[in-house]
Amino acid sequence: MADDKPTDVTPPELTQPTVKGPTVDGHPREGESRDPKGRRGKGVPQPAIQPPTHAKYAVSPGSVNDAGNEILSRSQQSVNTYEDLKSTVQHDGGWIFWEPAIGTKIPDIMGVEGGYVTDQSPETTNQLTAAEDNLLLGVADSITLAGQFADQLNNAAQFYTQADKASVLPEMPFTIGAGSIMGQPPKPDATGTPADSPKNDGSG
């Protein structure tokens, strides 16, 4: 509604400790293990359904991590810009709606001689200042979400790496000769000749 007055808020201070995510070494964050039965709560029966099928795809954990680091690099720039804008609003926001009049004398600012000014509409000033603070809060929330998304990208890369490290190809037996297994030579027959070797019966 047009008559709604924005609730005044305090824009948060944003900091970003790093512009790069953790090294992708297959160690997801603590507490991030996945429940293979799903997230619907303990004791809730899960219906037996056929898992979905999809075409084969390749995942490069390094590329996933690079994408997250690119987001962090750009979000750091956004954090800096946000903090500059917040400082400007907090310093100058209340002065935008002041007009010359008999009132409180303001000091000289940046070489401009001070004068007597007064706020002609304190209520309007308060509403607009609250709106500015709410906009700053929205910007801060957006930057925070971008950082959280980059963090989740890094953790996804960790899970892929962890799965890759945990994947061990089974030692599959296959036939080299009759009754032989990979890594084991064929057993010789009574004459000492391997069972799958060609027999020289003198007919050749």
Domain ranges of the chain: 61-93+120-160
The pLDDT of residue 159: 92
The pTM assigned to this predicted structure is 0.59
The pLDDT of residue 37: 45
The stretch 42-67 carries a mean pLDDT of 80
pLDDT at 172 over 90: no
pLDDT at 149 over 80: yes
Say if residues 188 and 194 touch (Cβ distance below 8 Å): yes
Q: Structure tokens of 180?
A: 């032989």
Choose among 123, 129, 118: nearest CA to 94: 129
Indicate the DSSP class of residue 93: G
Query: Sorting pLDDT into bands at 50, 70 and 90, what band is 110?
Result: low
* Percent of residues, the chain, with pLDDT higher than 70: 60
Say if residues 142 and 16 touch (Cβ distance below 8 Å): no
